[in-house]
Chains A and B, each alone.
Chain A
Amino acid sequence: MKPAPFVYHAPRDRSSAVSLLGSLPNAKVLAGGQSLVPMLNMRYAAPDHVIDLNRVAGLAGVRIDEHAVEIGAMTRQVDLLESSELARRLPLVAAALRHVGHVQTRSRGTIGGSLCHLDPAAELPLVALVSDATLTAAGPRGERSIPAAEWARGFMAPALAPDEILVSIRFDLRGASGYGFHEFARRHGDFAIVAAAVLIELDGERVARARAALGGVGPTALRLGALEAALRGQQASRVGEVIGPALAALEPVADAYYGARYRRHLARVLAERAMRDAIGRAREAPR
């Protein structure tokens, strides 16, 4: 189980990474490598060129200001997990990270790599989507911002042009007062069968704003706009009644292991659990 041969490139700066990407045919970008290298080993992916971003300056690191947290695409998952400041300012991301793979994969795995690999059940694209994060891509024509809602073009297909790389992701901190994250996987660290992420803002005992999304139910993470609309203005104690009906029409994609019916059921259960946690935390949150 050895990779097919490829030419290895280790650019030192962003512009050479971008120009390599634009000029080399059948090239793949290597970030943390925890998803790409298995595909190389198993020869599912067989690029002619591999462009390693690990030595590109300025792609890793976390910048936290009053209203936002900006995370470099090449920031390792373990570094995010170990940041107490991040855990305080972005508890949803921290909570999701604890479900991402295993200690050995988080040592190398990056937030950007996970966002670009875009496994349908992956945690980080899910929290990016529910948080209305903003992704920044760099290409030959400079940088552009992409709202998380427009990031996933489909199954494992991020909204990147062939000559663009992801450089950072920005989470807006305003108004995310309570969060909830629940996923169901058979074993610790496995891909979730279904995952649910929720952000709640309360106005007294009423839901001022709700954001909810699911992973593992389709080719990409799914934002639950209709549910969010239905929750607006609801009594916090009665949100459970809204969730079931709002998800009744969900038609998840089945795989060889778990059926659509079961995933729909899990979606409701996990959404309810995440919602309950989010409301609980919102109640405790300082006003």
Chain B
Amino acid sequence: MILHHSFELSLPPGEAFRLLLDVPRVATCIPGATLEPAANGVYRGAVAVKVGPLDLVFRGDAVLAEANEAARTAVVRGRGTDEKGRGSAQAVMTFALGEVERRTRVDLTTDLVLSGAVAQYGRGQGVIQAVAAQFVAAFVANLEARIAGDAPAAPPPALSAFSLAWAVVKARLGRVWAAITSRGRPGGRPAADAERSPR
């Protein structure tokens, strides 16, 4: 499935671009990610995601497939297979950076393909999208934290992605949500929930 996410980083595009190309640093901002040093441009590692009752660990590799300094676009290809044989994930992530008031707007397009048992659950389809959105939101929050200087000593723990999915939907719906639930937090930041989430 094709996913579109956009976010802003409090850095000028030039620096933001260099940061995003620094895979080892960026990896420390990916929830539940562990990364081994690169061997000729290929990074091996794993990403742990808790999907409701499922604890998945996708182990695989990632490469920086393209980087166009001038156009400030980059393509990262990643793939991973669940350790317990429940399927695999492939993602082609295309970053396009642009400037907004000395900050950087990042348009991220992800072509995500899930395969195997994890993908074969029609009732879960919609929520997978919510998770992806949440995953990016948490990633951005961690990235911002790093930009702000409080670099995490260790990679962030695997967040219970699904346990946060709802927060994202709420955030997305913003006031609309407030209108419906009278409990929504307009503009509420998923990341705020990320810190409060169990495990």
Contacts and interface: CB of A to CB of B under 8 A. Distances in A.
Interface of A: 4, 26, 28, 36, 39, 42-46, 117-118, 120, 149, 152-157, 159-162, 191, 218-220, 222-229, 246-247, 249-251, 253-257
Contacts of B36: none
A256 B127 CA distance: 11
Contacts of A28: 53
Given A46-B84, A255-B124, A256-B125, A154 B166 contact: yes
Nearest to B54: A44
Those 8 A-B pairs whose CB atoms lie nearest each other, nearest first: A156-B52, A256-B122, A225-B182, A157-B163, A253-B126, A155-B162, A154-B163, A154-B166
Interface string B44-87: 00000000111100000000000000000000000000001110
A219 B166 CA distance: 6
A257 B52 CA distance: 20
B165 A219 contact: yes
Contact of B122 (A118, A120, A247, A255): A255
A45 B54 contact: yes
A249 B163 contact: no
A223 B181 contact: yes
Nearest to A228: B182
Interface string B97-132: 000000000000000000001000111111101110
Interface stretch (B14-22, B23-31, B144-152, B172-180): B172-180
Given A152-B166, A157-B163, A251 B176 contact: yes
18 contacts: A28-B53, A44-B117, A117-B53, A120-B127, A149-B183, A153-B160, A154-B160, A154-B164, A155-B131, A156-B162, A161-B198, A218-B169, A219-B127, A219-B130, A219-B169, A225-B183, A228-B182, A255-B124
Contact of B180 (A118, A156, A226): A226
Contact of A257 (B123, B160, B162, B173): B123
A154 B183 contact: no
A131 B199 CA distance: 28
Contacts of B121: 44
Contacts of A36: 53
Given A218-B166, A224-B180, 10 more contacts: A39-B53, A153-B166, A155-B130, A157-B163, A219-B162, A225-B182, A226-B178, A227-B180, A255-B122, A255-B123
Nearest to A259: B126
B53 A44 contact: yes
Contacts of A4: 84
